[in-house]
Structure 1
Amino acid sequence: MLSISCYNLAKGTVSSKKEHQENTPRHGVDSVIILFHLSPGEIAHFFYQDDYNDLFRATQRTDDSGYLRMALYIPHNLVITFTNLMTVYPALVIPGDSLIVRKLYQNDQTSYEFQSTKHIYANFLNELEKKYGFFYGSLQLSPDMNIEYYLKEIKNRNAQRLQLLREYGRIDTTGSSLASYLRKEIRSVYIMDFCAPYYTKNFNYREKVPPEYTNELGTLLNELNCDTCVTSPKYRLAIRNYLLYLTRDSLSGNNEFTTMFRNAYSSFTGKSRDVALFITMKSYLEKDNSEAISHLPYFDTKCVNTGYRRYIDSLVKRESRALDSTEGSNSMLSDLTGITIPFKSIISEQKGKIVLLDFWASWCGPCRAETPAMKALIEKYQKEDLTVIFISIDDNKDKWATAVDQLGIKTAGKHYLLDSKQPLCRLVGIPPIPRYILIDQSGRITAFNAPRPSESELSLKIEKLLHNNSIKITAK
Structure 2
Amino acid sequence: MRKTKSKVHIFFLFLLLTAFWSCNSGEKGEKREAAVEPGQIVLFFEDSVTNQFFRQRKAVFKYMDDNMLPVEISFNSEESSKDLIINTKRGSLDLVYRDNSQFEFTYYLQNGDSILIQEKDKKPWFESVKKESSSYTYNLELLRNTELYGKSHSKAQDFDFLWNETKAFPFELDMNEDLKRNKDEAIQGFQKELSWIDSLANTGSISEEVKAFYTSKNRMAQKKLEAYPTDSMVFDSQLAVNSFLNEIEPQLDTTVFLDEFSELIIANQTQLQSRDLIDSLLAGSELNHREKSLLFHYLQKEIPFLSFKVVDEVLVRYSDKLANPAQLVLLNSSNKALQGIEPDIELMGLQKSSITFEEILSQKRGKYLYVDLWAAWCIPCIKAFPASVALNEEYKSRGVEVIFLSVDDNYKFWEEVAIKYDIAIPNQSFVAMIKDESEYLKALDVALIPRYLIFDPKGKLIHPNAPRPDTEEIRDFLDSLIDP
TM-score tier (shorter): 0.5 to 0.7
1:223 pairs with one of 244, 247, 260: 247
Alignment of 1:197-236 (within 5 A): 197=229, 203=234, 221-224=245-248, 226-236=249-259
Q: Does 1:387 align with 2:406?
A: yes
Alignment of 1:72-91 (within 5 A): 72-75=86-89, 76-84=92-100, 86-88=102-104, 90-91=106-107
2: CA distance between counterparts of 1:39 and 1:346?
48
Match of residue 27 from structure 2: 19
SS for the counterpart of 2:138 is coil
TM-score, length-scaled by structure 1: 0.56
Going from structure 1 to structure 2, the CA distance change for 1:317 and 1:277 (only over 3 Å counts) comes to closer
Cα distance, 1:23 vs structure 2:
2.5
2:335 pairs with one of 291, 300, 320: 320
1:39 pairs with one of 49, 54, 63: 49
| Cα deviations by residue, 1:382-427 (Å, 9 ceiling, x for unpaired) | 998243489xxxxxxxxxxxxxxxxxxxxx98776699xx9999x8
Match of residue 15 from structure 2: none
8 Å contact 1:265–1:277 — kept in the other structure?
no
Match of residue 209 from structure 1: none
Cα distance, 1:231 vs structure 2:
0.8
8 Å contact 1:33–1:98 — kept in the other structure?
yes
1:284 pairs with one of 293, 302, 312: 302
Match of residue 192 from structure 1: 224
Aligned-residue Cα RMSD (Å) equals: 5.5
| Cα deviations by residue, 1:363-389 (Å, 9 ceiling, x for unpaired) | xxxxxxxxxx97555676799824348
1:260 pairs with one of 277, 289, 295: 277
Structure 1 unmatched ranges of 5 or more: 1-17, 207-212, 246-250, 334-344, 358-372, 391-411, 451-459
Count of matched residue pairs: 364
SS for the counterpart of 1:161 is helix
2: CA distance between counterparts of 1:465 and 1:28?
58
TM-score, length-scaled by structure 2: 0.55
Going from structure 1 to structure 2, the CA distance change for 1:80 and 1:238 (only over 3 Å counts) comes to closer
2: CA distance between counterparts of 1:82 and 1:445?
38
Q: Which has the higher helix share?
A: 2
SS for the counterpart of 1:159 is helix
Cα distance, 1:218 vs structure 2:
5.2
Paired residue type of 1:280: Y
Match of residue 461 from structure 2: 444
Cα distance, 1:71 vs structure 2:
2.5
Match of residue 71 from structure 1: 85
SS for the counterpart of 1:440 is strand
SS for the counterpart of 1:28 is coil
8 Å contact 1:82–1:90 — kept in the other structure?
no
Report percent identity of matched pairs.
10
SS for the counterpart of 1:112 is strand
Alignment of 1:67-466 (within 5 A): 69-75=83-89, 76-84=92-100, 86-88=102-104, 90-104=106-120, 110-117=122-129, 118=131, 119=133, 120-128=136-144, 130-132=152-154, 138=160, 140-141=162-163, 145=176, 149=181, 152-173=184-205, 175-197=207-229, 203=234, 221-224=245-248, 226-241=249-264, 251-252=269-270, 255-265=272-282, 270-288=288-306, 296=315, 299-300=318-319, 303=321, 305=323, 307=324, 311-312=327-328, 314-315=329-330, 317-325=332-340, 328-329=341-342, 348=358, 353-355=371-373, 376-377=379-380, 385-388=404-407, 438=451, 440=453, 442=455, 444=461, 446=463, 461=468
1: CA distance between counterparts of 2:235 and 2:72?
37
8 Å contact 2:36–2:114 — kept in the other structure?
no
Q: Which has the higher strand share?
A: 1
| Cα deviations by residue, 1:223-270 (Å, 9 ceiling, x for unpaired) | 23x55532112123334556789xxxxx436x3343121343468963
Cα distance, 1:350 vs structure 2:
8.6
The structure that has the greater radius of gyration is 2
SS for the counterpart of 1:124 is helix
Paired residue type of 1:74: T
